[in-house]
Structure 1
Amino acid sequence: MDKENKTALEDLSRAEILRKLFTSTLTLSAFTFGGGYVIVSLMKKTFVDELGWIDNDEMLDLVAIAQSAPGAIAVNGAIVIGYKLAGLLGVLVAIVATVIPPFVVISLISVFYEAFRQNTWIALILEGMQAGVGAVIASVVFDMGAQVFHSKNRLMIAVMFLAFFANYFLEINVVVIIGVAALLGIVLFFVDKHRRKELSE
């Protein structure tokens, strides 16, 4: 975390951080349609661009953790951000705020399911939303890919393209791709650690 982000958090009390975390994740969850990748882009906009609590590189790491863990990426994203900002209490606050809106909406839909299913207007609205959701997901992919390019790490850029090729053209399971990428990250970490140790001696 850079100095500006650290200062922005230090100026707030724990209660203020938790309150803002709750209202932000609740609002994001309530007005996000299209799945976890959409809410991840809005989380970045809120916590990186607007509040300045997390920097771009760290957000990319948090998204990678959220995507690699089992479960819904929206909830996983809330968990890692909540933990980063306020520890275990932040996790609890973020999870509750993220789960409340879909729980309420799905409960209502289940009661009026037949009416929703047969309503032409609702069907048309959902069909139109699919196009918008596709655009938002494409935007998330572009932003995350751009951050990898800006790092100017040739190996990471190559891994990104190879992962896309392996999943899209070779149809290799995404779990395998994530596992291989994680192992590569571990190897690179220890290689870099060994190199720094040699230079310091």
Structure 2
Amino acid sequence: MNIKKFKRYGSLFKITFSISAFTFGGGYVVIPMMRKYFVTDLELFSEKELLDMAAIAQSTPGAIAVNIAVLIGYRIAGITGAVISCLGTILPPLLILSVISFFYKSFRDNRIISAILKGMEAGVAATIVDLVVDMVQGILKEKNWLFTFMAPTAFIASFFFKVHVLFIILSCSFLCFVQTYMTRKGGTTLND
């Protein structure tokens, strides 16, 4: 193995490990951190590519954070990169949960730990709102009317009209399929 590949693998492990170790709140919180490191700082791929990977990670079984890390690792360094990214992402929670489970009684009754966790909840909420705003801005820049109206319509259908989520997912998938089919055939799109 040459030095350049070794450095790439080390950098990939270090970034995924640090993101996983210092982000709390689930998979969606990881996406802005991945964007910061891989899109903004290292410029390894575009924001659109990251959002495509996030969509794939979201639709595959397993934790979104691990799925997107594996996709990013694969995109950067192939199968070895995917394995390294996976390890870098799963090790911090594994280590943290091992320590917490060992000292569970101490953590459970500690008011300071409880206060820290409450503070993290507010930070996670702010990060998720920031991600949603960025994603909406990206959708609006595409000027794709289907995508622009799909998210609010899906929310309204689920929240207010109690439409089953499976029906919403199937309907949105069907509409995207139709739009892609029409675009590839050279016909009109739902944007026009």
Partners of 2:167 and 2:32 in 1: CA distance: 25
Is 2:94 the partner of 1:103? yes
The two structures have a TM-score, normalised by structure 1, of 0.84
Alignment equivalent of 1:117, drawn from 108, 118, 142 = 108
The two structures have a TM-score, normalised by structure 2, of 0.88
Contact 1:68/1:178 (<8 A) preserved: no
Q: How many equivalent residue pairs?
A: 185
Q: What per-residue deviation string (whole Å, max 9, x for no partner) do you get for residues 68-124 of structure 1?
A: 112211111112211222222221111000001000000000000011001111111
Deviation at 1:13, TM superposition (A): 4.2
Is 2:142 the partner of 1:151? yes
| Segment drifting more, 97-106 vs 127-136 | 127-136
Q: CA RMSD in A?
A: 1.9
Partners of 2:5 and 2:166 in 1: CA distance: 37
- Amino-acid identity (%): 41
Deviation at 1:16, TM superposition (A): 3.3
The 1:123–1:56 alpha-carbon spacing in structure 2 relative to 1, beyond 3 Å, is same
Contact 1:32/1:38 (<8 A) preserved: yes
- 1:37 is matched with 28
The 1:187–1:90 alpha-carbon spacing in structure 2 relative to 1, beyond 3 Å, is farther
Is 2:169 the partner of 1:185? no
Any stretches of 5+ residues in structure 2 without a counterpart? Answer: 188-192
| Segment drifting more, 94-103 vs 125-134 | 125-134
Deviation at 1:45, TM superposition (A): 1.2
- 2:60 is matched with 69
- 2:190 is matched with none
Deviation at 1:14, TM superposition (A): 3.6
Aligned AA for 1:52? E
The 1:192–1:92 alpha-carbon spacing in structure 2 relative to 1, beyond 3 Å, is same
Partners of 2:164 and 2:7 in 1: CA distance: 42
Q: How does 1:121-140 map to 2 (within 5 A)?
A: 121-140=112-131
Deviation at 1:65, TM superposition (A): 0.8
Q: What per-residue deviation string (whole Å, max 9, x for no partner) do you get for residues 124-156 of structure 1?
A: 111121111111111111111110011111121
Any stretches of 5+ residues in structure 1 without a counterpart? Answer: 1-11, 197-201
Is 2:38 the partner of 1:47? yes
Partners of 2:59 and 2:167 in 1: CA distance: 11
- 1:20 is matched with 11
The 1:45–1:179 alpha-carbon spacing in structure 2 relative to 1, beyond 3 Å, is farther
